[in-house]
Amino acid sequence: MLATSKLGKSYGGRVLFEDVSLQLNRGSRYGLVGANGAGKSTFLRILCSDEEASEGQVMIAANTRMSVLRQDRFLDDASLVIDLTMAGDTVVWGRCRRRQRSKRGMAMRARSSLWKSASRCMTGTRFVRARRRSSKGSASRSRPMSARSVLLGGPDLLMLDEPTNHLDILSIRWLERFLAGYTGCAIVISHDRRFLDATATHILDVDYGTVTVYTGNYTAFVANKQAIRERKEAEVARAEAKIAEKRAFVDRFGAKATKAKQAQSRLKQIEKIEVEELAATNRRTPTSASKPSGRAAVTCSPPRS
């Protein structure tokens, strides 16, 4: 559904990521993670054409319907909440608006169906007052409305940047269920590891100067990434130990005529040993994780007898 080929992004001399070639498929939900400033939002903006890449290309299948929830999305505070939600289905909403004057009956029937879908979405995200006006100045209202609008349109490709921000616990759980049943391709930036454990089938990790895909949820990713890093570090350590051993032989016996041939042989062996140069992580620890949100709102103790 979506593919990247040798994608890269840099600002001046600072490289965020490079040589990113991925294939993202329908039916998969990708959690996009990385340290602050690593380039998660930049990568997402490149995928949805909000920003240009420094190199490479993004390919999206023809006729793909895409919806994007941006962190800085603002809504019209003069509009009704239900209208803002229905506008998320751009195809049906646009048809309703065009037909409103010439074919009012057909438009109203289409609007009625869209109204029912929007109302179900609003109920799930804990905002059931359809006639309320939106409030651009209130993030706790604007963010859930933005999320509902994006989800309603039935997109094939869904990109969400911090969708759980300003959602209460019940709304987060509803969003988890929605994504669990979503059949398209979803890419989600989130610092909520519990949310990623509940929704992600894969993890896209922005680290080591590239973007790497791991199969499984966030917990599986942490274990897998750490195991891969430890294995590579062990391979480097073994290679360096071999080099040190052979170098010590050369230093000790290289000047002796009886050992000169053996010393030269070891020098050739050293040249053939490849030591992988491990890229530095942009995290304090390669598998650092932020605290989960929404696990418990209130903890109560039993009353004293």
- The answer to whether residue 218 scores a pLDDT higher than 80 is yes
Report pLDDT for 120: 52
- The answer to whether residue 153 scores a pLDDT higher than 80 is no
Whole-model pTM over 0.75: no
Report pLDDT for 303: 67
For residue 227, give every residue at least 6 positions away whose Cβ sits within 8 Å of its Cβ, in sequence order, or none: none
Mean pLDDT to the nearest integer, 170-193? 90
For residue 51, give every residue at least 6 positions away whose Cβ sits within 8 Å of its Cβ, in sequence order, or none: 42, 45
- The answer to whether residue 204 scores a pLDDT higher than 70 is yes
Report pLDDT for 236: 92
Greater confidence (148 vs 194) lies with 194
Residue 72: which pLDDT band, with cuts at 50, 70 and 90? low
| Contact (CB, 8 A) for 110 and 171 | no
Token pair 């939600």: residue: 85
- The answer to whether residue 282 scores a pLDDT higher than 70 is yes
Residue 85: which pLDDT band, with cuts at 50, 70 and 90? very low
CA distances to 19, 41, 57 from 50, rounded to whole Å, are 20, 10, 13
Q: Which long-range contacts (CB under 8 A, 24 or more apart) does 131-135 make?
A: 131/80, 131/81, 131/82, 132/80, 132/81, 133/77, 133/78, 133/79, 133/80, 133/81, 134/75, 134/76, 134/77, 134/78, 134/79, 134/80, 134/81, 134/84, 135/77
Residue 274: which pLDDT band, with cuts at 50, 70 and 90? confident
Greater confidence (133 vs 272) lies with 272
- The answer to whether residue 174 scores a pLDDT higher than 80 is yes
Report pLDDT for 294: 53
Greater confidence (87 vs 223) lies with 223
Report pLDDT for 71: 74
Runs of H (alpha helix) within 73-217: 81-86, 90-102, 104-124, 139-152, 169-180, 193-199
Mean pLDDT to the nearest integer, 20-43? 94
Give the highest mean pLDDT range of 153-162, 224-233, 261-270: 224-233
Per the prediction, the chain carries an average pLDDT of 77
Report pLDDT for 284: 66
How is the chain split into domains, by residue range?
Answer: 77-151
Report pLDDT for 242: 92
Provide, rounded to the nearest whole percent, the portion of the chain with pLDDT above 70: 66
Report pLDDT for 100: 54
Mean pLDDT to the nearest integer, 171-192? 90
- The answer to whether residue 117 scores a pLDDT higher than 80 is no
Helix (H, G, I), strand (E, B) or coil at 217: coil
